[in-house]
Amino acid sequence: DSGVTQTPKHLITATGQRVTLRCSPRSGDLSVYWYQQSLDQGLQFLIQYYNGEERAKGNILERFSAQQFPDLHSELNLSSLELGDSALYFCASSASQDEQFFGPGTRLTVL
Amino acid sequence: LAKTTQPISMDSYEGQEVNITCSHNNIATNDYITWYQQFPSQGPRFIIQGYKTKVTNEVASLFIPADRKSSTLSLPRVSLSDTAVYYCLVGENNFNKFYFGSGTKLNVKP
């Protein structure tokens, strides 16, 4: 158990819809990272937040957005969903820039 | 951007030592090299991290030559449970971006 929690575990929705994925980092970790992993693909870095502020952006689509709240939990919002957005979405947290602790992921299925 | 290159897959047998090499020609001075292990449908898990020379912990060793343009993850006496994807990660310190390589799928056979 990494100490990072993600909800929901599974999410099934339809094209065009909007969903919100939630992540609670390890106690004390200020950084939160979001990754997308499509079937049999590597991890694609989406975005990083540090203590409530956006720190870095990776390959995140304009239809996607994220935020980190004062209690340090983070949400990833995915809108106008397409079939290709079906993937595992991982959240990770860290206290430093180096080692990241990953959550169990949210499996999103877009039908 | 410190791009990494790893073999796509490797096969091994139980009890053997496995060495997985990662190339990172554009590594920056402040970058650390980190390796993660990922089982299917699970989040990656930290294995080991190093900056130069050799680092060893209870599960693996990491060898980094002087030029730091590559690194080798060494897993001693692998078991079936070591079958997983192994990612080499080079932190881009200035911009805090973490790009995973393509990963190496290690298949350990009995």
Q: Is A64 helix (H, G, I), strand (E, B) or coil?
A: strand
CB of B95 less than 8 A from some CB of A: yes
Stretch A55-83: mean pLDDT, rounded? 95
Nearest by CB to residue B100, choosing from A2, A42, A56, is A42
Q: Which H or E element spans position B12?
A: strand B9-13
The bridge status of strand A19-24 relative to strand A74-78 is antiparallel
Residue of A nearest to B32 (CA): A98
pLDDT tens sequence for chain B (110 residues): 557 899 999 999 999 999 999 998 888 888 888 899 999 889 999 999 999 999 999 999 999 999 999 999 999 999 999 999 999 988 765 444 577 767 999 999 99
Question: A85: Cβ–Cβ under 8 A, 6 or more apart, which residues?
Answer: A78, A108, A110
List beta partners, residue B87: B36
CB of A13 less than 8 A from some CB of B: no
CB of B97 less than 8 A from some CB of A: yes
Which pLDDT does position A98 carry in this prediction? Answer: 65
Contacts of residue B100 in chain A, CB cutoff 8 Å? 35, 42-43, 45
Which pLDDT does position B96 carry in this prediction? Answer: 45
Contacts of residue B97 in chain A, CB cutoff 8 Å? 45, 48, 56, 58
